[in-house]
Amino acid sequence: MIEQALYSLNKIDEKYPRPDIIDVLSDQRNQSLLSYVYRDPFGCHIFPGDIENYPHQRFLEALNSELSTGYPIHLWAYIPTCRYICHFCQFPKIVVRPHREESSQVFKEVVDLNIMEARMWLQKVPNLASVPIGEFNIFGGTPSLLPFDELERLMVFYREHFNFSHATLRFEGEPGTLDSHYLAFLHKLGFSKLSFGAQSFNDDIIYSSGRKHSSRECFEVIKNARETGIEWTSVDLIYGLLQQRVEDVEYDIRKALELELSHIVCSKLHIKDFMETRTGVSEEKKALWQKKMVPIEITPVETTSAGTNRIDTGANKGSKLSANMFPSLGEQYQMRNVIDNLFDSYYFEHPTMYFYRKDTEPEKWKGIITDQDKQHPEVAIGLGGSSKCRSAEMVNLTDYKCYREAVNNHILPVASVTGMSAERQEANAIKMALSTCQPVDNDIHRQRFGHAIKENKRIYNKLCDLAERQLLFFDDDKIKLTRSGKVLVESIINTEFND
């Protein structure tokens, strides 16, 4: 496999510079990182526990205790409705035809269940009613399918039962459903932040990904949101998509710069099962592209140049896909190079993959979870949600029928709970801090754990090893990622600290 990975890594678009990261990943000392990025598992912001079958009551008690400190937390509601299925999607969802008469009952049921689950949380974790909510997110799925009356009913409940006195409200939607009327209604309800997935601004690539919106609709959402008063808009872009070329990503990034977006998420396509490392929202079924993939040996003889042809993946209905229809690993890192170089003067990255314009602020909810001086709890209400405190995490059921049955029977829809030993808590704290792409501060670590980082020999030795491999460096009492380290931080935190 390493031979195939090295070939894919060195297969680049000759019109663009060869990324330095190729030399880093070609170093035998970084073979585990190369294996990770080539196998492509999901898990950028996953910080798992190490104690299986942890009693869920103990998690709830630990969470309640931690909430008593009064630090702001991240609260989110997951609304799993979608009007179609993206070809790369592995998230739990309910496909709804919003204009059909029966859809109104589905939306009502989804909101009913979310409220019923939230009431159970409030009963079992009493401090949840009073702890300040730093940021409240409605995620999906496509929550923007919710009719006005159901969205308002959901928001009235949350405002009445949680401490929203200083909360920022953020809403996720889909371009084809976020018209000017819906945006005006969101603004009326108090939402000041909007995010949506464009994936690309190239209509061919949008179509081949199974999306049913156009680039024009993306531009209209951004324009209308600003006119409505929602200035903070985050757009998700993906690189590594089917038949995507480096020049396509360059077009997307230049277009994003023209739009002067406040926040942009640029994530690498992940095809391998989320379930391998899932501790968050994830479906158990394979995505459409996974179902269509044909395992092949990627060799110099068999591999053709990605991007030389466009395929009609309305063609996906009966066709098979092979790995050489996607950009090579080297081309993906050229794409990442383009992103870094074009964003360098205008955006900071914090955390990894999340870019914010230099005159704005980084993602608040991500900061609450991962910033070294915070790392406070999050509570997720809805299908497949992941809730965590410092000592454990709980993942909700992901099958909608099972979820509905549990909630209707007044049972918290627990799929699994995993505890964290003291050693894992300390390692996760370092991993979270690294994932922010910000310096890891030894003084903050000492305040929390009672000792300097170097006194934990297992962690310190790993950091020294990463420094020898030029992925990070020590600067006085801080630890900083190199540029290569920032690009590879996902693979670093998921391969170097888990033993």
Domain boundaries, the chain: 56-273+326-419, 421-498
- For residue 251, which of 316, 342, 165, 185 has the smallest C-alpha distance? 342
pLDDT band at 270 (very low <50, low <70, confident <90, very high): confident
CA dihedral 88, 92, 96, 102 (to 10 degrees): 170
Find where tokens 């914090």 sit: 350
Please check the confidence at residue 279 and state whether its pLDDT lies above 60.
Answer: no
pLDDT value for 247: 98
Output the pTM of the full model: 0.92
pLDDT value for 294: 62
Same fold for the domain at 56-273+326-419 and the one at 421-498? Answer: no
pLDDT value for 298: 40
- What are the residue ranges of helices labelled H in 101-245? 103-124, 148-161, 180-189, 203-208, 215-228
pLDDT band at 487 (very low <50, low <70, confident <90, very high): very high
pLDDT band at 269 (very low <50, low <70, confident <90, very high): confident
pLDDT value for 494: 87
pLDDT value for 272: 66
pLDDT band at 309 (very low <50, low <70, confident <90, very high): very low
Please check the confidence at residue 314 and state whether its pLDDT lies above 70.
Answer: no
- What integer is the mean pLDDT of 139-148? 95
Which amino acid does the sequence have at 381?
A: I
> Do 150 and 108 touch, CB atoms closer than 8 A?
yes
The DSSP annotation for 339-394 comes to HHHHHTTTEEE-STTEEEETTS---HHHHHHH-TT----EEEEETT-EEE-SSEEE
- Cα 388–chain centre separation: 16
Q: For domain 56-273+326-419, give its CATH number from 3.40.50.150, 3.80.30.20, 3.30.830.10, 3.60.20.10.
A: 3.80.30.20
3-state class (DSSP) for residue 420 = coil
- What integer is the mean pLDDT of 36-40? 84
pLDDT band at 267 (very low <50, low <70, confident <90, very high): very high
pLDDT band at 99 (very low <50, low <70, confident <90, very high): confident
pLDDT (tens digit per residue) in 250-262: 999 999 999 999 9
What is the CATH class of 421-498?
mainly alpha
CA distance 166 to 146: 25
pLDDT value for 472: 98
Q: Which long-range contacts (CB under 8 A, 24 or more apart) does 376-379 make?
A: 376/66, 376/71, 376/72, 376/73, 376/74, 376/134, 377/63, 377/66, 377/67, 377/73, 377/74, 378/73, 378/74, 378/75, 378/76, 379/63, 379/73, 379/74, 379/75, 379/76, 379/121, 379/125, 379/128
